[in-house]
Amino acid sequence: KAKIWQKKYSRRRHLAKLLVLQDRNKSVLCPRSLESFTNWQKAQKSKAKYQAKAANQRRDYLHKLTTHLVKQYDVIAIEDLKTKNLQKNHHLAKSIANASWRIFRQMLEYKCEWYGKKLIAVDPKNTSRICSKCGYNSGAKPLEI
């Protein structure tokens, strides 16, 4: 529904902008402003409602997940990833941005502090290349591995 309302919002905003420009070019006595288009405003409110719902669902899931992890484990190690660099891969950018990794990490940090648990941020250099058991460096790997 959020996608549908985003599409409606974009279409209605575009048409409203065109009508505003037409009024401006024709030198109408009472030119319309963008805020005078009620269909655009309805679409804006509906879009915001569904986006807020999705954000709340994501936040709720993250709270439940982090609470479960912190209660179950005494030491949690996470990779200190730079999401800005990861988002340069256009195949993964949308899913990375949608996962809210930064919020996940912040929740883990303060919940570990609350429960007296330890959170370790591991340097991401060669973490997917070096074997955790024997320490062998197998070299670069494609994304599918």
Question: Could you tell me the pTM of the whole model?
Answer: 0.68
Per-residue model confidence (pLDDT) at position 124: 77
Domain count, the chain: 2
Token pair for 83: 């999401």
List the end-to-end C-alpha distance of the chain, in Å, as a whole number: 34
State the average pLDDT over residues 57-69.
Answer: 94
What percent of the chain is modeled with pLDDT above 90? 40
> In this structure, are 49 and 78 located in the same domain?
no
- Give CA–CA dist 112/21, Å, rounded: 55
Containing structural domain, residue 3 = 1-57
> In this structure, are 11 and 51 located in the same domain?
yes
- Give CA–CA dist 2/98, Å, rounded: 14
State the average pLDDT over residues 9-25.
Answer: 90
| Best CA proximity match to 111, nearest among 80, 69, 56, 79 | 69
Query: Mean pLDDT for the chain?
Result: 87
Q: Looking at the DSSP assignment, which residues form a beta bridge with residue 121? A: 78
Contact between 75 and 116 under an 8 Å Cβ cutoff? The reply is no
Token pair for 15: 């048409």
Type of residue numbered 56: N
> In this structure, are 43 and 87 located in the same domain?
no
Token pair for 122: 């591991």
Q: Per the domain annotation, does 131 fall within a domain?
A: no
- Give CA–CA dist 63/85, Å, rounded: 26
Q: Per the domain annotation, does 8 fall within a domain?
A: yes
> In this structure, are 47 and 81 located in the same domain?
no
> In this structure, are 20 and 52 located in the same domain?
yes
**DSSP E strands, the chain:** 75-79, 118-122
> In this structure, are 51 and 1 located in the same domain?
yes
State the average pLDDT over residues 45-71.
Answer: 93
